[in-house]
A and B are shown apart, each in its own frame.
Chain A
Amino acid sequence: MHVAIIGNGITGISAAIRLRKRRPGWDITVISGESEYHFSRPALMYIFMGHLRFEDTLPFDKKFFKHQRIDLMQAWVTKIDTENKMLVFDGQTQPLGYDKLLIATGSEPNKFGWPGQDLRGVQSLYSLQDLDLLYRNVRGAQHAVVVGGGLIGIEFAEMLHARDIGVTFLVRETAFWNVIIPDEEACMINRIIEEEGLGLVLETELDHIVDGGDGRVSAVRTNSGETIACQVVGLTTGVHPNTHLAKTSGVPTGRGILVDRSLRTSIDDVYAAGDCAEMVTGEERNLIQQVWYTGRGQGLAVADAMAGDEVRYDPGIWFNSAKFLDLEYQVYGTVPRTGAAPPGHTSLFWMHPDGRHSLRIVHNNGTVVGFNLFGIRYRHEVCERWIREKRSVDYVLAHLAEANFDPEFYGRYEVEITAAMKRQVA
């Protein structure tokens, strides 16, 4: 049995490792054109800033794959011949047969057809190749404009800032990332961005990018008519599933590659998982998940499915984390943005006077459903358990200290938090 996996991101590699454990006798090949070895995509920023070398971002060393008998192949797949179960490659690489195939091609950055979006100096940030392009694009750059207020946008800005390049953020929303997080937290991030010395322009969109006459960006023009001179433009307005290969190979796609709860496509022995997959759940909306942790979870699940198990992928209780400059962020469970709370959902919110620590507890008629944290670390296991056990607000407030995961000697805020939240409940 030969399993081919296209994509060596967290999904493809998680699937390969799990499958090796489950099926010691099978042959496994992981194919990627981007890089020979699996690296941590969220760590690309640290390479650019000089915190890490590329080799430091490899979660498993080279020997690991040899030891696990996982074959690695660096090549771009151009077409899947699903009839004959063959992969066709770019260049000189000979076609490769498979018995089962996993497509884990990840996502790709959104571009909305802005005039000038293909000028030199304009780029997104997703792949190793994008990082390399950025090294070339920042040469001699004094100022950059980052379009889109999200997680990749803030990373992009931090990276440029670390190289003493001025940054202006163009954000469509009224506060940073408030399409996802509540307004109070979004305003905290606004302030952090401004304190760091980055320019934040809210409620403004990109109109077009100006050619300096040499095919390179010289400025951007906003929809409010303002012109901002810059030598680099970062387009970080979200991502969408990368379905190119599936489309050219006749694998059914919607927004992503369509899969069932077992991560199977409608074509025999072809599976898809991770950012590129769109799961038909039978519910109101299909499931597309595009963060590191869901990539890992889907990768593990699809390995079980390929091994022959009856799998029903359960997304579990949501969690995520990020860092906005110096401000750490964690979320557990359901935390709707302002104005989008389902009926019965209310939240209790506490913020330290320094504006660098906050906790939001979301509850549904008294039952806790979510935690949103800035500048405080909470235990994943504890928050998840409280949500699963449908604990009441009173219970959670009485046991808040159990969840704290900050380093020793850090300031503890349980007393203030509990007092503030009890007042809000009353």
Chain B
Amino acid sequence: MNMYTFPMQRRFGEPEHGHKPAPTPTARVAVAVVALGVLLFVAALAGAPLGRTWFGPMASFVLAGGGAIALIRMRYRNTTPGIKHNGVFFSGATSRGALAWGLGILFTGFYVMLYWFPAPLVGAIRLVDPVSYALAGHAANRWFLYGFLYTVAMIVFGTRMFYKYRHNRYERIRTASVIVFQLGFAFLIPHILERLNEPEFYFTYFWPLKPDYLFPSGVHWLTSSSGHLGAFLVGWGAIMTFVATPVLTYFLGKRWYCSWVCGCGGLAETLGDSWRQLSDKSLGSWKVERWMIHTVLILIVTLTALLWFNDAHAGLVFGSFTRALRRWYGFFIGMIFSGVAGVGFYPLLGSRVWCRFACPQAAILGLFQRFFSRFRITVNGGQCMSCGNCSTYCEMGIDVRSYAQRGENIVRASCVGCGVCSAVCPRGVLKLENGPVSNRFPGADAPVGAFLQSLGLRKRKHGGGAYWS
């Protein structure tokens, strides 16, 4: 008998090319419709004045989005309801092939233009002018274009989630939730507020993900520009940060925000879903994650404190240092990390790079989730047979299997509660649930002690995995 040595060729057993059946005539029509929509968008970019009437944006986005939805429907229509990950690792688009690199460059390039070189986007901005006039009452700018594209992407690829998970109510409800929060609270309402001459305020973002809302400048801007409403908005942000975050996370886990409300999470869960298997599962990447995300948290806390200190002392003490820190934080964390790398690298590094490595909101929610929450992923006795679907499809790079095969609950700061590990498990081993804190993880009865252990300040007691120890 022959023997295998490890590692084997990267795509062990990939079928020969030409395996896929030829597209049907309807699929060809749908592809043509998408291409036409994209063509109109490109024509607008090239300067065609398509945004003077509603016709331009309607034709472009409805054709591209509608065609894409039709293709998605055809993809899933002839399958029975269930997990259909056939060929994920055989397709270059979803396993870091040429197509994935191309998309990565396209996404990254878009963010670079958006932030620093918007000139080539002017045509596209004009294309969405009618939408902007209707909502906000003024011409579109690049941020309006961005929000519009973002929302359209979430709706189109959210539809994909509805088809893909039509057997799974948790996924369907969660997807509906992120779409509603994005469309309503992160797109329509802020622009309608603008139209009413009120601040363009995003109810679903707050400090520290949207630090400005608790920076002195932000607070002054909100309170001075719109009186009572402004005071309400400042109060709203503060309540979300200081009350909702700990209370909701205690009862539901960080998922209430990260995979049900947040727009960044929403895009990752819709547009990014195809690339969730690309997250790095190694212990090394977990270590990098913990250092990076908590460093960002310390940075933003320090920066906020300094800004308020300066505000109280008229900027006389750390004024220039704080201004520089704020600029650098905005540049590296706000632009490079959350945009260029966070979304740009979806097709190469998976959909949650930003959320996992650098989001300060996720860091805070994660600390609560790890030590003061009722949320956990329960492992069903000894039913795990270590196949690896859960770990592979975890977008946060959690090695879920390493817990499941020991019969140990999964209580991890980074878990956003997307529920996909539970969905892909062929043995029904995993369940996201909220329950008594006392039996969540070994040492759960003393969360402060567990926290100190995690910092290495107290010796770790080894908890019993029922099936190995």
Kindly state the separation between the CA atoms of A75 and B2 in the bound complex, as whole angstroms.
10
Kindly state the separation between the CA atoms of A63 and B282 in the bound complex, as whole angstroms.
11
Q: Which residues from A are CB-within-8-Å of B405?
A: 59
Q: Which residues from A are CB-within-8-Å of B2?
A: 129, 132
Chain A residue with the shortest CB-CB distance to B16: A139
Asked if residues B12 and A47 are in contact (CB atoms below 8 Å), the reply is yes
Q: Does B412 contact A (CB under 8 A)?
A: no
Kindly state the separation between the CA atoms of A50 and B12 in the bound complex, as whole angstroms.
9
Asked if residues B428 and A330 are in contact (CB atoms below 8 Å), the reply is yes
Chain A residue with the shortest CB-CB distance to B380: A380
Which residue of the partner chain, among B282, B382, B433, contacts A319 with CB atoms under 8 Å? Answer: B382
Which residue of the partner chain, among B10, B170, B388, contacts A59 with CB atoms under 8 Å? Answer: B388
Asked if residues A131 and B13 are in contact (CB atoms below 8 Å), the reply is yes
Q: Does A48 contact B (CB under 8 A)?
A: yes
Q: Which residues from B are CB-within-8-Å of A59?
A: 386, 388, 401-402, 405
Asked if residues B385 and A42 are in contact (CB atoms below 8 Å), the reply is yes
Asked if residues B432 and A43 are in contact (CB atoms below 8 Å), the reply is no
Asked if residues B85 and A17 are in contact (CB atoms below 8 Å), the reply is no
Chain A residue with the shortest CB-CB distance to B8: A54
Kindly state the separation between the CA atoms of A75 and B391 in the bound complex, as whole angstroms.
30
Q: How many interface residues does B have (CB within 8 Å)?
A: 62
Kindly state the separation between the CA atoms of A380 and B8 in the bound complex, as whole angstroms.
36
Q: Which of A116-164 contact B (CB under 8 A)?
A: 128-129, 131-132, 135, 138-139, 162-164
Q: Does B88 contact A (CB under 8 A)?
A: yes
Chain B residue with the shortest CB-CB distance to A162: B86
Which residue of the partner chain, among A10, A56, A129, A164, contacts B391 with CB atoms under 8 Å? Answer: A56
Kindly state the separation between the CA atoms of A200 and B80 in the bound complex, as whole angstroms.
17
Q: Which residues from B are CB-within-8-Å of A128?
A: 4
| Interface stretch (choices A168-176, A202-210, A402-410) | A402-410
> What are 15 A-to-B residue pairs whose CB atoms are below 8 Å?
A36-B5, A43-B389, A46-B387, A50-B90, A51-B86, A52-B89, A54-B8, A57-B388, A63-B283, A196-B80, A319-B383, A377-B380, A377-B428, A384-B381, A410-B170
Asked if residues B389 and A21 are in contact (CB atoms below 8 Å), the reply is no
Kindly state the separation between the CA atoms of A55 and B14 in the bound complex, as whole angstroms.
14
Asked if residues B170 and A408 are in contact (CB atoms below 8 Å), the reply is yes
Q: Indicate whether A33 sits within 8 Å of B3 (C-beta atoms), given known contacts A42-B385, A56-B388, A407-B422.
A: yes
Q: Which residues from B are CB-within-8-Å of A131?
A: 13
Asked if residues B389 and A46 are in contact (CB atoms below 8 Å), the reply is yes
Kindly state the separation between the CA atoms of A328 and B468 in the bound complex, as whole angstroms.
26
Asked if residues A48 and B13 are in contact (CB atoms below 8 Å), the reply is yes
Interface size, A (range): 35 or more
Q: Which residues from B are CB-within-8-Å of A47?
A: 12-13
Which residue of the partner chain, among A43, A62, A135, contacts B388 with CB atoms under 8 Å? Answer: A43
Q: Does B167 contact A (CB under 8 A)?
A: yes
Q: Does A195 contact B (CB under 8 A)?
A: yes
Minimum Cβ distance to chain A for residue B47 (Å) = 43
Residue from B83, B386, B392 with most neighbouring chain A CB atoms (10 Å): B386
Chain B residue with the shortest CB-CB distance to A57: B388
Chain B residue with the shortest CB-CB distance to A164: B21
Q: Which 6 A-B pairs have the closest CB atoms?
A: A380-B381, A326-B82, A43-B387, A377-B428, A59-B386, A50-B87
Chain A residue with the shortest CB-CB distance to B427: A321
Kindly state the separation between the CA atoms of A328 and B430 in the bound complex, as whole angstroms.
13
Q: Does B463 contact A (CB under 8 A)?
A: no
Minimum Cβ distance to chain A for residue B161 (Å) = 15
Q: Which B positions have Cβ atoms within 8 angstroms of A?
A: 1-8, 10-16, 19, 21, 80-83, 85-91, 167-170, 173, 282-283, 378, 380-383, 385-389, 391-392, 401-402, 405, 419, 422-423, 426-428, 431-433, 467-469
Which residue of the partner chain, among A18, A36, A326, A407, contacts B170 with CB atoms under 8 Å? Answer: A407
Q: Which residues from B are CB-within-8-Å of A37?
A: 6
Mark each residue of chain A from 68 to 82: 1 if its CB lies under 8 Å from any CB of chain B, else 0: 000000111000000
Minimum Cβ distance to chain B for residue A113 (Å) = 21
Kindly state the separation between the CA atoms of A163 and B86 in the bound complex, as whole angstroms.
9
Which residue of the partner chain, among A17, A52, A74, contacts B392 with CB atoms under 8 Å? Answer: A52
Which residue of the partner chain, among A51, A62, A328, contacts B428 with CB atoms under 8 Å? Answer: A328
Kindly state the separation between the CA atoms of A40 and B90 in the bound complex, as whole angstroms.
20
Which residue of the partner chain, among B85, B383, B401, B432, contacts A330 with CB atoms under 8 Å? Answer: B383
Kindly state the separation between the CA atoms of A40 and B168 in the bound complex, as whole angstroms.
26
Q: Which residues from B are CB-within-8-Å of A74?
A: 3, 5
Q: Does A296 contact B (CB under 8 A)?
A: yes
Q: A46-B389, A162-B87 are in contact. List 10 more A-B contacts (CB 8 A).
A: A10-B386, A34-B4, A51-B85, A52-B387, A56-B391, A76-B3, A135-B13, A135-B15, A330-B428, A408-B169
Asked if residues A321 and B383 are in contact (CB atoms below 8 Å), the reply is yes
Kindly state the separation between the CA atoms of A410 and B87 in the bound complex, as whole angstroms.
28
Minimum Cβ distance to chain B for residue A256 (Å) = 21
Kindly state the separation between the CA atoms of A131 and B80 in the bound complex, as whole angstroms.
25
Kindly state the separation between the CA atoms of A33 and B1 in the bound complex, as whole angstroms.
8
Q: Which residues from B are CB-within-8-Å of A63?
A: 283
Kindly state the separation between the CA atoms of A321 and B422 in the bound complex, as whole angstroms.
15
Q: Which of A6-49 contact B (CB under 8 A)?
A: 10, 14, 17-18, 21, 33-37, 40, 42-43, 46-49
Q: Which residues from B are CB-within-8-Å of A408?
A: 169-170, 419, 432-433
Minimum Cβ distance to chain B for residue A129 (Å) = 6
Chain A residue with the shortest CB-CB distance to B12: A54
Q: Which residues from A are CB-within-8-Å of B168?
A: 407
Q: Does A379 contact B (CB under 8 A)?
A: yes
Q: Indicate whether A292 sits within 8 Å of B385 (C-beta atoms), given known contacts A36-B5, A52-B392, A407-B423.
A: yes
Q: Does A381 contact B (CB under 8 A)?
A: yes
Asked if residues A50 and B19 are in contact (CB atoms below 8 Å), the reply is no
Kindly state the separation between the CA atoms of A330 and B401 in the bound complex, as whole angstroms.
19
Q: Which residues from B are CB-within-8-Å of A196?
A: 80
Chain B residue with the shortest CB-CB distance to A33: B3
Chain B residue with the shortest CB-CB distance to A326: B82
Kindly state the separation between the CA atoms of A81 and B13 in the bound complex, as whole angstroms.
38
Q: Which residues from A are CB-within-8-Å of B19?
A: 163-164
Minimum Cβ distance to chain B for residue A5 (Å) = 16
Q: Does A399 contact B (CB under 8 A)?
A: no
Residue from A34, A37, A46, A50 with most neighbouring chain B CB atoms (10 Å): A50
Q: Which residues from A are CB-within-8-Å of B422?
A: 407
Q: Indicate whether A380 sits within 8 Å of B11 (C-beta atoms), given known contacts A74-B5, A326-B167.
A: no
Asked if residues B5 and A51 are in contact (CB atoms below 8 Å), the reply is no
Q: Does A415 contact B (CB under 8 A)?
A: no
Q: Which residues from A are CB-within-8-Å of B91?
A: 50
Q: Does A325 contact B (CB under 8 A)?
A: yes
Asked if residues B3 and A409 are in contact (CB atoms below 8 Å), the reply is no
Q: Indicate whether A51 sits within 8 Å of B88 (C-beta atoms), given known contacts A132-B13, A163-B19.
A: yes
Asked if residues B87 and A53 are in contact (CB atoms below 8 Å), the reply is no
Minimum Cβ distance to chain B for residue A352 (Å) = 14
Kindly state the separation between the CA atoms of A135 and B9 in the bound complex, as whole angstroms.
14
Which residue of the partner chain, among A36, A52, A75, A409, contacts B6 with CB atoms under 8 Å? Answer: A36
Asked if residues B7 and A55 are in contact (CB atoms below 8 Å), the reply is yes
Kindly state the separation between the CA atoms of A75 and B4 in the bound complex, as whole angstroms.
10
Which residue of the partner chain, among B88, B169, B380, B389, contacts A50 with CB atoms under 8 Å? Answer: B88
Minimum Cβ distance to chain A for residue B170 (Å) = 5
